[in-house]
Amino acid sequence: MDGLWIALILALDAAMLGLVWFCDRLLHRN
C-alpha cells in the first residue's frame, strides 16, 4: 500500500512541475 500512496505524492508534485512548464510556455508565447 505504501507504494501506491507514495506514487500518488510523486504524481501530484510532477503535475505541479508540469504546471510550471505550462505557465512558462504561456509567458513566452505572450
Partner 1 sequence: MTPEFFALLAALLAVVVGAARPLGRFFGWIMDGRPAWGPLARLEDGLLRLCGVRRVEMSWRAYAVALIVFSLLGTLLLYALQRLQGWLPLNPQQFGAVSPDSSFNTAISFVTNTDWQGYAGESSMSNLTQMMGLAVQNFLSAASGIAVAFALIRGFARHSAHDIGNFWVDLYRITAYALLPLSLLLAVALVSQGVIQNFAADMPVTTLQATSYTTPKLDAAGQAVRQTVTVAQQTLPMGPVASQEAIKQLGTNGGGFFNANSAHPYENPNALSDFLEMVAVLLIPAALVYTFGLAVGDTRQGWVLLAAMMLVFAVAVTGLAAAEQQGNPAIAALGVNQAHGVLQSGGNMEGKETRFGIAASALFDAVTTTTSCGAVNAMIDSFTPLGGLVPMALMQLGEVVFGGVGSGLAGMLVFALVAVFVGGLMIGRTPEYVGKKVEAFDMKMVSIAVLLMPALVLLGTALAVVVPAGLAGPANPGAHGFSEIFYAFTSAANNNGSAFAGLSANTPFYNGWLGVAMLLGRFGVMVPTLALAGSLAAKKRIPAGGGTLPTHGPLFISLLIGVLLLVGALNFFPAWGLGPIVEQLQLWT
Q: Which residues bind partner 1 (CB under 8 A)?
A: 1-2, 4-6, 8-10, 12-13, 15-17, 19-20, 23-24, 26-27, 30
Closest distance to partner 1 from the beta carbon of 3 (Å): 9
- Listing DSSP states for 1-30 in one string gives -HHHHHHHHHHHHHHHHHHHHHHHHHHHH-
Closest distance to partner 1 from the beta carbon of 17 (Å): 6
Measuring CA to CA, which residue among 18, 5, 2, 4 is closest to residue 26?
18
Closest distance to partner 1 from the beta carbon of 7 (Å): 10
